[in-house]
Chain A
Amino acid sequence: MSKFILEMIGITKEFPGVKALDNVNLQVKEGEIHALCGENGAGKSTLMKVLSGVYPYGSYSGDILFKGNTCQFKDIKQSEKLGIVIIHQELALIPELSIAENIFLGNEQSRRGIINWNETTVKTKKLLKTVGLAESPSTLITNIGVGKQQLVEIAKALSKEVKLLILDEPTAALNEDDSENLLNLLLHLKKQGITSIIISHKLNEISKVADAITILRDGQTIETIDVIDGGISEDRIIKGMVGRDLTNRYPERVSNIGEVIFAVENWNVYHPLHSERKIIDQVNLTIKKGEVVGIAGLMGAGRTELAMSIFGKSYGQKISGRLFKHGKELDIKNIPDAINNGLAYVTEDRKQYGLILIDDIKTNITLSNLEKISKTKVVNQHKEVIEAESFRQKMNIKTPSVFQKTGNLSGGNQQKVVLSKWIFSDPDILILDEPTRGIDVGAKYEIYTIINQLANEDKGVLLISSELPEILGMCDRIYVMSEGRITGELLKDDATQENIMKYMTYERGQYHEHEAANSK
């Protein structure tokens, strides 16, 4: 049995109000590929940030042993010195600099402050050969695709004489060929004695390359599985990832579901910048009166993109497909059209896209429908205060008055203001994108109660969430998305975390098999 290169023992990390990591243990053997699995928010990225020094020593408790020595990193520089290099989900390359410049950024090959470009080029060429990238060192990053950029990141890590390479969702943005390529590179590096930790949602990739798998759930280590010859089944991993008790965190609701009020047919959307990249692929869905419909999916599955493209084409380009409300086709060109047709979209990022933080509660609430309190375009400010005040009481926004700036409110109260704003626009269909993200349990319960009320008022609710228990606890019907497609549709009674997770991790190839199997 080989010895451990890395041991993380009893790591606990707290953020205000949340315990992100709770006594987590991780042991990685020298020369293996170790996979880290868990749902969104399970604490994988946080753990890696603790390891690499993004969260400095002292901001967490527990011990990190690297090659048997205790480490107390104050910043990334110190961990990199020992050969621990992390490649983040969002690549940290500078688009307008060349490959060579990026690889040696912060580590310039220089003498007395003057860069030796010949040496830089020669070393870059060597590194590019190792990672199998056939590009000139002087090519600009902006001119190569994401797959190649990922390879440049790895080359950059190699230039720092990496011993332990950490990859956070390395294949999330890659197509199949590039992913394949990258995984083969990891296996190749393993032969050269480089240990890697890979965080990934793509279970088939993990079962292909990993030697050991550690599963995190809710900030705790669940188990570490050694992969013996013959691999490991994806179901086995899923079982570890989910399987938490569903306590009564969701208010009861008696569903009273009516006819279809909203339908999306053959919806296709392309990336706003890369016009050849299809983000949403032939999506069909329906929402019924008084129904809460969930959309589950992993990060990057296209849920937000689907919602925003439906809401007045606020995302993407070359959008095709048809929208129906009460059986009548809608012609929605922009956001005002969408609002006028009774659609509302509560964004997942309330601070950036939901609120005007420097404005007060009443101004934020009424902005979605100023006409309602206006006569000939003149706003009745007295009526405005009355309306806002009624929302403050109804939604239990905890603040002394509606003149409070929304920037000073807590996350839960901010979310209630955003919800109030959209309810004020009198919608028939509400799309709620991660409505409980980053808010405490009490406020979550209140938001759930509001969602139930909306359904009871015969509105249609589309609930996008990364938390499976929330989806299972709240929805009458669930769509599951993966890679821009709807890969499954489940009724409340049929849905389990396991089968949702299975649909969530479907990939394009598998999807076709699945379709074929269904049509037989």
Chain B
Amino acid sequence: MSMKPQIQNDVSLENKSTTSILQVLKSNMRQYGMFFALVLIILLFQLLTEGILLKPLNITNIILQNSYILVLAIGMVLVIITGHIDLSVGSIAAFVGAISGILIINHNIPTILAILICLIIGAVIGAWQGFWIAYVKIPAFIVTLAGMLLFRGATMLVLDGQSIAPYPKSFQGISSGFIPDPIGNGGLHILTILLGLVFSIIYILMEQRNRKNQLRYDFEVSSNGLYIGKLVGIVALINIFTYVLATYEGIPTILIILFTLILLYTFVMKKTVMGRHVYAIGGNEKAASLTGVKTKKVTFLVFVNMGVLSALSGIIFAARLNAATPKAGNLFELDAIAACFIGGASAYGGIGTVGGAIVGGLVMGVMNNGMSLMGLGIDWQQGIKGLVLLLAVAFDIYNKNKAS
């Protein structure tokens, strides 16, 4: 659902007649390649695990297990699009998690207030790193490598090397809670089903408006059959997904947060001036600057944003673990970076999408989960994940070379 196809690509096709399904697939292969790969991986593990993978309980698990990486991946893809990298996100997540523990567990500060303070701390840390990167022009690799060590050390310092636990229920709910069901009676989660229907309607309305606009501006559009087929397919996907969740405990709270973030950031990157500027900087910083883009300010803000999302990730992880520990967030940065690259972001900047990063994160998440279900050891898992990263990027570069 996060991979809503974009209309521009359909328009870009050359012939004036309506486009066929084969052309759509061909022209969008690069963009949706990884999405198809995700579907294949899901089907593969569905077979290998004899159907356990797509059990409602397990789907919920996959979402919960990967939420904090996906949150990081959203911020990371922005950083990577500007042509930078952030190695410190795991340490920042750990540090902010530790602060949340101290505030909530040691000082009994109300959850909402504590979360707010944590997010602000994340923003301040992001501003600190953004300052060095954007204004002093120190390479992000170095600044964030320093940050990685700095905030890991700070985490151990504030926690005194010990874990703090447990959090109150209200805080744990962020990552293990589900939306309430005021209508249902314990069986099927009715609100979840209803939300699925509401999303479907919103989606159809938006697509309709878009198509009307395109017709009004006299752009070419996909054929009616293809259009309706797409609508039906996606509506079916949404509702099957919510139905499956409803047969367990409904939609997890974290999924709502994630979904909101994905929509928000996709919108910002695709539709706003700010998003355009981020892509422009990654595409050619000098040209962007000479065209009036405030390159320093935008780069700075991208890192502030990364800090806030790192903080959010740290909060989610602490809530899921129900403890603030000095070891939290270890190697998160690498998972988040890998998610972006698997999702089609370019290491040279200027290319990447939020949706792609999410798909990349899910590819890794589903593989983790599937391999665990099959009883593969962590050693094998690491190795296979490494190969997948390499192959995904190789596939991407192969496609790019073929295109040019």
Do the two shown chains form a genuine complex with each other? yes
A-to-B contact residues, CB < 8 Å = 311-312, 314, 334-336, 338-339, 345, 347, 352-359, 363, 367-368, 370-371, 374, 377-379, 381-382, 385-386, 400-401, 403, 407-408, 421, 425
A178 → B minimal CB distance (Å): 31
Complex contact B14–A400 (CB within 8 A): yes
CA distance A338 to B279 in the complex (A): 22
B186 within 8 A of A: no
Would A386 and B217 be within 8 Å (CB), given that A363-B276, A367-B280, A367-B291 are in contact?
yes
B65 → A minimal CB distance (Å): 35
B217 surroundings in chain A (CB, below 8 A): 382, 385-386
Complex contact B214–A359 (CB within 8 A): no
Complex contact B283–A359 (CB within 8 A): yes
Complex contact A382–B284 (CB within 8 A): no
B292 surroundings in chain A (CB, below 8 A): 312, 335-336, 338-339, 368, 425
Complex contact B291–A421 (CB within 8 A): yes
Among B115-123, B267-275, B332-340, the one that faces the other chain is B267-275
9 closest A-B pairs by beta carbon, nearest first, are A356-B283, A403-B12, A356-B284, A339-B292, A370-B273, A336-B292, A382-B217, A377-B273, A335-B292
B291 surroundings in chain A (CB, below 8 A): 335, 367-368, 421
Complex contact B272–A377 (CB within 8 A): yes
CA distance A359 to B288 in the complex (A): 12
Complex contact B11–A385 (CB within 8 A): yes
6 intermolecular pairs with C-beta atoms under 8 Å apart: A356-B284, A359-B350, A367-B280, A368-B292, A377-B273, A385-B219
Complex contact B272–A379 (CB within 8 A): yes
B289 within 8 A of A: yes
Complex contact B287–A379 (CB within 8 A): no
Selected contact of B279 from candidates A352, A359, A385, CB within 8 Å? A359
A368 surroundings in chain B (CB, below 8 A): 291-292
Complex contact B271–A381 (CB within 8 A): yes
B351 within 8 A of A: yes
B9 → A minimal CB distance (Å): 8
B401 surroundings in chain A (CB, below 8 A): none
Complex contact B283–A358 (CB within 8 A): yes
Q: A359-B350, A382-B213 are in contact. List 20 more A-B contacts (CB 8 A).
A: A334-B294, A335-B289, A335-B291, A336-B292, A339-B292, A345-B290, A352-B286, A353-B290, A355-B284, A356-B280, A358-B284, A363-B280, A368-B291, A370-B273, A370-B276, A374-B273, A377-B273, A379-B273, A403-B8, A407-B404
CA distance A336 to B293 in the complex (A): 7
Chain B, 276-316, CB within 8 A of any chain A CB = 276, 279-280, 283-284, 286-294
Complex contact A367–B293 (CB within 8 A): yes
B283 surroundings in chain A (CB, below 8 A): 356-359
CA distance A358 to B351 in the complex (A): 8
**A359 to chain B: closest residue by CB:** B283
**A371 to chain B: closest residue by CB:** B273
Would A356 and B287 be within 8 Å (CB), given that A367-B280, A401-B14 are in contact?
yes
A382 surroundings in chain B (CB, below 8 A): 213-214, 217, 219
**A335 to chain B: closest residue by CB:** B292
A209 → B minimal CB distance (Å): 39
B-to-A contact residues, CB < 8 Å = 8, 11-12, 14, 213-214, 217, 219, 271-274, 276, 279-280, 283-284, 286-294, 350-351, 404
**A382 to chain B: closest residue by CB:** B217
Selected contact of A355 from candidates B219, B287, B351, CB within 8 Å? B287
B8 surroundings in chain A (CB, below 8 A): 381, 403
Complex contact A352–B287 (CB within 8 A): yes
A408 surroundings in chain B (CB, below 8 A): 404
B289 surroundings in chain A (CB, below 8 A): 314, 335
A245 → B minimal CB distance (Å): 37
Would A314 and B276 be within 8 Å (CB), given that A356-B284, A358-B283, A408-B404 are in contact?
no
A519 → B minimal CB distance (Å): 39
Complex contact A378–B12 (CB within 8 A): no
Complex contact B293–A378 (CB within 8 A): no
Selected contact of B286 from candidates A353, A359, A363, A385, CB within 8 Å? A353
CA distance A421 to B288 in the complex (A): 12
Interface-central residue, A356, A370, A378, A421, by most chain B CB under 10 Å: A356
**B351 to chain A: closest residue by CB:** A358
Which label, helix, strand, loop or mixed, suits the secondary structure of the B interface? Answer: helix
A425 surroundings in chain B (CB, below 8 A): 292
A279 → B minimal CB distance (Å): 18
A374 surroundings in chain B (CB, below 8 A): 272-273
CA distance A15 to B290 in the complex (A): 30
A218 → B minimal CB distance (Å): 32
A371 surroundings in chain B (CB, below 8 A): 273
**B403 to chain A: closest residue by CB:** A405
CA distance A371 to B292 in the complex (A): 12
B12 surroundings in chain A (CB, below 8 A): 401, 403
Complex contact B276–A378 (CB within 8 A): no
B280 surroundings in chain A (CB, below 8 A): 356, 359, 363, 367
B274 surroundings in chain A (CB, below 8 A): 377
B293 surroundings in chain A (CB, below 8 A): 367
A386 surroundings in chain B (CB, below 8 A): 217
B11 surroundings in chain A (CB, below 8 A): 385, 403
CA distance A338 to B217 in the complex (A): 33
Selected contact of B350 from candidates A358, A377, A401, CB within 8 Å? A358
CA distance A335 to B286 in the complex (A): 12
B271 surroundings in chain A (CB, below 8 A): 378-379, 381
CA distance A500 to B291 in the complex (A): 32
Selected contact of A367 from candidates B214, B288, B294, B404, CB within 8 Å? B288
A385 surroundings in chain B (CB, below 8 A): 11, 217, 219
A356 surroundings in chain B (CB, below 8 A): 279-280, 283-284, 287-288, 350
CA distance A352 to B288 in the complex (A): 10
CA distance A374 to B276 in the complex (A): 12
A407 surroundings in chain B (CB, below 8 A): 404
CA distance A253 to B286 in the complex (A): 35
**B281 to chain A: closest residue by CB:** A356
A336 surroundings in chain B (CB, below 8 A): 292, 294
A156 → B minimal CB distance (Å): 32
**B294 to chain A: closest residue by CB:** A336
A334 surroundings in chain B (CB, below 8 A): 294
B279 surroundings in chain A (CB, below 8 A): 356, 359, 363
CA distance A505 to B96 in the complex (A): 65
CA distance A403 to B220 in the complex (A): 13
B273 → A minimal CB distance (Å): 5
B332 → A minimal CB distance (Å): 29
A100 → B minimal CB distance (Å): 32
B276 surroundings in chain A (CB, below 8 A): 363, 367, 370, 379
A414 → B minimal CB distance (Å): 12
CA distance A338 to B290 in the complex (A): 10
A348 → B minimal CB distance (Å): 11
CA distance A381 to B350 in the complex (A): 19
CA distance A385 to B287 in the complex (A): 21
A78 → B minimal CB distance (Å): 34
B286 surroundings in chain A (CB, below 8 A): 352-353
B226 → A minimal CB distance (Å): 19
A314 surroundings in chain B (CB, below 8 A): 289-290
**B348 to chain A: closest residue by CB:** A358
A492 → B minimal CB distance (Å): 30
**A373 to chain B: closest residue by CB:** B273
Would A354 and B213 be within 8 Å (CB), given that A367-B293, A377-B272, A385-B219 are in contact?
no
A381 surroundings in chain B (CB, below 8 A): 8, 271
**A354 to chain B: closest residue by CB:** B287
**A362 to chain B: closest residue by CB:** B8
CA distance A403 to B217 in the complex (A): 16
A347 surroundings in chain B (CB, below 8 A): 290
B290 surroundings in chain A (CB, below 8 A): 311, 314, 335, 345, 347, 353-354
CA distance A345 to B217 in the complex (A): 32
B171 → A minimal CB distance (Å): 35
A514 → B minimal CB distance (Å): 35
B76 → A minimal CB distance (Å): 20
B288 surroundings in chain A (CB, below 8 A): 356, 367
